[in-house]
């Protein structure tokens, strides 16, 4: 799992990403409000455990209890012309969409 901490204005978010390139389905990026969860490191083991338990689906019920339903959401990946790879302009489109959402 890759984790990035992103700050937009005065709000901070954790972006969680799991490589599912070998799986039959893609897993969207999970966004969690950092001010609600604090140090995410203390919660990673349980998040990953619940992720695996639910066959690579984000554990919505667990995250609802952990941070509240309004403090986490998923964000769709940018569509790509080549499976498993994004061109520079596709990454820029994803970034712009993310900025708008946050």
Whether 30 contacts 74, CB under 8 Å: yes
Q: For residue 87, what are the contacts with CB-CB under 8 A and spacing of at least 6?
A: 80, 81
Task: Say yes or no to pLDDT of 95 above 90.
Answer: no
Of 31-45, 50-64, 87-101, where does mean pLDDT reach its minimum? 87-101
Quote the pTM value. Answer: 0.81
Q: What is the mean pLDDT of residues 47-58?
A: 89
- How many domains would you assign to the chain? 1
Query: Residue 82's domain spans which residues?
Result: 2-101
Whether 24 contacts 54, CB under 8 Å: no
Q: What is the mean pLDDT of residues 59-80?
A: 87
């Amino acid at each position: 799992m890759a984790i990035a901490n992103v700050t937009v204005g005065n709000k901070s978010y954790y972006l969680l990403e799991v490589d599912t390139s070998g799986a039959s389905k893609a897993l969207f990026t999970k966004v969690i409000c950092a001010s609600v969860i604090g140090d995410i490191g203390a919660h990673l083991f349980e998040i990953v455990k619940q992720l695996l338990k639910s066959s690579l689906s984000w554990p919505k019920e667990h995250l609802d209890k952990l941070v509240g339903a309004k403090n986490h959401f998923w964000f769709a990946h940018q569509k790509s012309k080549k499976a498993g790879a994004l061109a520079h302009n596709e990454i820029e489109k994803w970034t712009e969409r993310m900025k708008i959402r946050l």
